[in-house]
Structure 1
Amino acid sequence: MKPVAAPKNNVDKNMLGVFRYSRRAIELVWKTSPALTIGLAIATLIAGILPAAMAYVGQLIVDAVLAAIDIYKQEQVFHYQTALNYVVLEGILVLIIAASQRALTAQQAILQGLLGHKVNMLILEKAQTLTLSHFEDSEFYDKLVRARREASSRPLALVNKTFALLQNAISLSSFAVLLWHFSPWALILLVCGALPSFIAEAKFSGAAFLMFRWRSPEVRQQNYLETLLAREDHIKEVRLYQLGGRFLQRYADIFQKLFKESKRLILRRESWGFVLGVISTLVFYGAYGWIVSDTIIGAITLGQMTMYLLLFKQGQSAVSASLTAISGMYEDNLYLSNLYEYLEQETSSSITGLTTEPKPNDGIRFEQVSFQYPGSQTAALSGINLHIKPGQSLAIVGENGSGKTTLIKLLTRLYRPTQGRILLDGLDLTEWGEAALLKRVGVIFQDFVRYQLIVGENIGAGDNDRFQDESGWQKAAELGKATDFIDQLENGYKTQLGRWFKDGQELSGGQWQKIALARAFMREEADILVLDEPTAAMDAQAEASIFEHFQEHTKDKMAILISHRFSTVRLAHEIIVMEHGEIKERGTHEALLAQQGQYAHLFKLQAQGYR
């Protein structure tokens, strides 16, 4: 897959500031748990200082043993006891280092869980401030997928590498003091021996990140195919049309494409890592030979040789780990850019606003409203003018794609008009506070959600303030004509719906629609009720009963009905016929029949089906 300009520029920008997100990551971890962050710092400090102390004690042990061997027997007891004391001291240091490492591991594991939850909460909370257009934008959805995939673990990974860098810096400082007594050149060799590994890591970190960004669409396709092949609401049709083999093959093809790219990158990274690792090994063994030679000629003691070899080996590992940590921090910064790019997505200020209307009971007004979906070249709505007063009902008819549901999305402020404005009681919808506006609206979309919750909660979802109000459930169910089957369920309103969880019970399409209708009635304060194809899965008798009931209980409300069944829409005070995003006809049922236009034509076609 060829790289694109935008991600490349983004990577270049991050290369100029390896630590761009380090401060923010540390702040995020600190806010998650100050106590654990301090604990990490203390354990890191201990783990950084003690290795050098252990190496020095190791020298003292060897020298004490050699002294005890070389001197007269009467003095052996003293040096023997001294050597044993050093052994005990080294054992204590080993225990302290082991405890600090365990403390680091435990605290990191606990922080991982807490931080993962916190970041996921940030992502989900941000999602609640986004508009519907964000979720319908494939590029933005890729951004969301990238943020969720690894950003929950990367902040802690970045902080861990920061502490690891600090630990290694402390260790190297103590190593440097001891190695300086051997030769300043040893320090230079120490750094040079670790550079090749760093070069190998840094070279491929950016490439891995770019591959991660480019893959987002393919990964989403794989996830979607998994959903088709393993979800109960899709598997029926997949099995019926024998699509399983085709979708599995498509899934495998995407995997093979991604696997080839990953394999190529892995082989290149490991090959370069081996070649450059050979250089590091040669440098280390060169220093090894130098130290051994100095020991043979008597320039240093055997104990010093042991210490210097240990210091050089651990020092080289510390330098390599430090450089690798810096490389990893760069990579973590790249991944964290996905998270903060998502969290910093601009959103319209729709939460706060006015809560009182300048013209009470004026109703809903559409004034020259037009709308065009992002990226579309044609208008979904054009020049819509409407006025719905309290106590009036409006029916909307038209072919699929004529703009009926789009109009409802604008009314519920899921979208904002491209041109014109929508008023509720004299106040532009954009000026209403979101909570105050949405309390006045009850909606059933044709693709309503079938919550995998108990019956009562499925209904209670219509009013979050009364989500657990059992008396409210029953009242709403009566208004939605859902009590006829709820009362027959073994656990009534406590019955688990859907097949995702234990003892779940599936409903018919018509029963689900009655649950959705009850959900709309749950919002008692709502004076705007919108039903978008609410009875498509019901039989004619049930539909007639529902709408007779609906008319009776919405006399003082503004009701908007979208339906293809003319036996239903004929009861509305006004009917509009939409075509290509425009209102072509409007009037009562009788007036539209008299016009002999599109409505009359469609009505006659449908009436013939019942003869």
Structure 2
Amino acid sequence: MVIKRLKITLPKPKVSLDRLGQLVFTFKEVTKLALKTNKNLLILAFILNALWGFSAAPGFYLEKLILDRLVENIGNPNWQTALNMISILIILRLLLELTRNILSRISGFLRRALSRQFDAEINVQIGKKLAELDLKLIEDPDFKNKYDKIERESGRRAWGLMMPLSDIPNYLVGFLSSVALLILLHPLVSFGIIIVSVPQFLIDRKFIKKDYELDTKLSPLYRIWGWLSNYLVRNRNYLELKILKLSEYLVNKLRKIQEQVLYEWYGLQKKRELSRFWSLLPLTIFELGISLWLVFLVIGKKVTIGSFEMFLRALRNAQANLTGLVSSFLEIYENYIYVSDLVWFLNLEPTIERSNRGMRLSKDEKYSVKLEHVWFKYREEQPWVVKDISFIINPGERIALVGENGVGKSTLIKLIARFYDPQRGNVRIGSNNLNKINLADWRARLGVLFQEFETYPFSARETIGYGDVARINELTEIKEAARRTDIANYIESLPLGWENPLAPEFEKGVAPSIGQWQRFGISRMLFRKNADILIMDEPTSSVDPRAEEKIFNELLVKTEGKILIFVSQRFSTVRRADRILVMDKGRVVEEGTHEELMKKNGLYEELFTIQAKGYK
């Protein structure tokens, strides 16, 4: 039999483009994301920034006129007439400066607003895409490395992408308007500015690549840094940190990692700044040469003092805007790898999670679940986790999965829920292969409580209502689900009742115990209206025996006529199943009722006896 390979080949971002291609790609993709975020705000920011950049040149010209009038009228007995003209020019210059200040304030606000919205939009897009992807991809180590980098940099990069993008109109128009003035002096001056700016551009481009290489090299350390930082500030870790006195040890470990990362980062930055210093020398020498030339032109009375000031200001403004323009494009280019990774991620397509395809299930029909010689492993190079498993579960049956940790029980649940497809064999729903069935239909029939279920910090009503979000406001049915797990009384004792937050960080929020969280999780599963196949992985492991008995009695009533599959290490619960599947090393080694399995004197009897001894 041919084995389907599960080994994942991640699609590669477009890193093979030439430098210009990378710049164009990044600029295009950033613009698309920005337009999607807030098209009107982006266009308005572009227009205002362009106006601000253009307004510098008229200011230089007004200053030239003011200076020339002052020089012309030194010692003029008719100074009052000249004063009127100079006053008008000064007022115009002040009005222009006021306009520039207003444009700058509005533009700054728009850029900050765009950056925040852009950051929020990226986070939303990342969250939506992650929810669409297959679990086999999400759990792949190569994917995790790339995704962690995208997630880690998303906030920082949002600002780094939006600022240069919105600044380009300002720098471009500002440069062109200053060049228009410098052409009056000599056309070659403008060309010279571009030439002497090339070394700075080349140096910056060189170190952008080195920055990325260093970031890639340090990526594993960044992951440990992030994990340690998060661990040290999480409330749920405080007790263990205090008992084990881990805090000082972990802080020292974190500091060593930080020192190593920062040492390499500082070393690269020193080289960058030294190289930048040398790259700025041609620009400085060029400005000095033009300034001296203008001095000689003034002495030779070929240009006025006002023209001297205007050309000098235009020269510096052209240099500043060209540097800003190049820096903006370099910043966008610097983000090429991040943007290409982000675009790659947002364009990933699932193979399993395609809920709009496949055969639709009849709402009125109850289906059996059948496994036929199923084999599965997570990665090609790893051993089999599930080995040649076959069984059938008929509608209305209660099935228990029993076995020591790591024998494949939770993996079996993931296969039934179709988070993965087996490499060999088939999972059938009724007579149909699960991979041919509409996934949304199938998941709607499932109520699953995983071993690592989510503890939502929101209201008690929402926490249970998330089991069926279309009915999240149906409080009567939410209360009924809570009553069946004996959590309703606890909720109603809270200060805000059903609207009380379940996290102490919120006002009047509380921190439920682990056992109470399990009851919330079971209530959420029971709230699913159309679920006729209920799956629970260690559902009552943290619940006291009396509560467990009550919850399980309610489950048996609630699940009448439905398939119930549960994983449990508590044999007081397991023995009530219609059928028990005993797993060992990825295989089902025993099957039967509690009484039948006890008579076999096999693994089940051994595990039961070990647990029973603890109660004697």
For residues 489 and 325 of structure 2, the distance between their equivalents in structure 1, rounded to whole angstroms, comes to 70
Letter in 2 for 1:351: S
The TM-score with structure 1 as length reference comes to 0.92
Aligned to 1:367: 372
Aligned to 2:270: 267
Letter in 1 for 2:515: G
For residues 506 and 300 of structure 1, the distance between their equivalents in structure 2, rounded to whole angstroms, comes to 78
How do 1:135-174 residues align onto structure 2 when only pairs under 5 Å count? Answer: 135-152=138-155, 154=157, 157-158=160-161, 160-174=163-177
- Say yes or no: does 1:585 pair with 2:590: yes
Letter in 2 for 1:565: R
Cα 1:544–1:102 change in 2 (3 A) is closer
Runs of 4+ in 1 over 6 A off after TM superposition: 6-9
Alignment check: 8 A CA contact 2:46 2:169 kept: no
- Say yes or no: does 1:296 pair with 2:312: no
Q: Alignment partner for residue 500 of structure 1, among 498, 501, 505?
A: 505
Give the superposed CA RMSD. 2.6
Alignment check: 8 A CA contact 1:364 1:387 kept: yes
Q: Which runs of 5+ in 2 are unaligned?
A: 1-10
- Say yes or no: does 1:237 pair with 2:254: no
The SS at the match of 2:74 is: helix
**1:575-603 CA distances to partner (integer Å, 9 max, x unpaired)?**
11111111111122222222222222222
Shift of 1:289: 0.9
How do 1:109-120 residues align onto structure 2 when only pairs under 5 Å count? Answer: 109-120=112-123
- Say yes or no: does 1:442 pair with 2:456: no
The SS at the match of 1:10 is: coil
Letter in 1 for 2:39: P
Q: Alignment partner for residue 435 of structure 2, among 430, 436, 439?
A: 430
Q: Alignment partner for residue 401 of structure 1, among 403, 406, 409?
A: 406
Aligned to 1:86: 89
For residues 254 and 53 of structure 1, the distance between their equivalents in structure 2, rounded to whole angstroms, comes to 53
**1:195-254 CA distances to partner (integer Å, 9 max, x unpaired)?**
333233222122223333343332222222123222222221122112112211111111
Q: Alignment partner for residue 40 of structure 1, among 28, 45, 48?
A: 45
Aligned to 2:313: 310
**1:284-304 CA distances to partner (integer Å, 9 max, x unpaired)?**
112111111121122222222
Shift of 1:358: 11
Q: Alignment partner for residue 603 of structure 2, among 594, 598, 604?
A: 598
**1:295-347 CA distances to partner (integer Å, 9 max, x unpaired)?**
11222222221221111121221222222222222113333223212212232
Shift of 1:487: 4.8
Q: Alignment partner for residue 354 of structure 2, among 345, 350, 354?
A: 350
**1:534-566 CA distances to partner (integer Å, 9 max, x unpaired)?**
121233333333323322332201011211122
For residues 611 and 565 of structure 2, the distance between their equivalents in structure 1, rounded to whole angstroms, comes to 21
Q: Alignment partner for residue 103 of structure 2, among 90, 100, 104?
A: 100
Cα 1:284–1:375 change in 2 (3 A) is farther
Aligned to 2:4: none
- Say yes or no: does 1:226 pair with 2:234: no
Q: Alignment partner for residue 276 of structure 1, among 269, 276, 279?
A: 279
Aligned to 2:7: none
Aligned to 2:6: none
Cα 1:181–1:446 change in 2 (3 A) is closer
For residues 388 and 364 of structure 2, the distance between their equivalents in structure 1, rounded to whole angstroms, comes to 23
Aligned to 2:393: 388
Shift of 1:494: 3.5
Aligned to 1:538: 543
**1:66-90 CA distances to partner (integer Å, 9 max, x unpaired)?**
22237x635x554443333322222
Cα 1:244–1:7 change in 2 (3 A) is farther
The SS at the match of 1:17 is: helix
For residues 549 and 167 of structure 2, the distance between their equivalents in structure 1, rounded to whole angstroms, comes to 71
The worse-fitting range, judged by mean Cα deviation, of 571-580 and 38-47 is 38-47
The SS at the match of 2:462 is: helix
The SS at the match of 1:60 is: helix
Shift of 1:368: 1.8
Letter in 2 for 1:323: V
Aligned to 1:3: none
Aligned to 1:53: 58
For residues 514 and 576 of structure 1, the distance between their equivalents in structure 2, rounded to whole angstroms, comes to 25
For residues 8 and 453 of structure 1, the distance between their equivalents in structure 2, rounded to whole angstroms, comes to 38
**1:34-84 CA distances to partner (integer Å, 9 max, x unpaired)?**
3222212221231232222222222222222222237x635x554443333
**1:444-494 CA distances to partner (integer Å, 9 max, x unpaired)?**
222222222232322222221222321112111222233454455454433
Alignment check: 8 A CA contact 1:145 1:216 kept: no
Aligned to 1:414: 419
How do 1:143-222 residues align onto structure 2 when only pairs under 5 Å count? Answer: 143-152=146-155, 154=157, 157-158=160-161, 160-222=163-225
Shift of 1:13: 4.9
The TM-score with structure 2 as length reference comes to 0.91
Letter in 2 for 1:278: L
Shift of 1:531: 1.8
Shift of 1:510: 2.5
For residues 532 and 408 of structure 1, the distance between their equivalents in structure 2, rounded to whole angstroms, comes to 8
Alignment check: 8 A CA contact 1:586 1:592 kept: yes
Q: Alignment partner for residue 133 of structure 1, among 130, 136, 147?
A: 136
Aligned to 2:519: 514
**1:507-551 CA distances to partner (integer Å, 9 max, x unpaired)?**
333332222222221113211111211121233333333323322
Cα 1:13–1:576 change in 2 (3 A) is farther
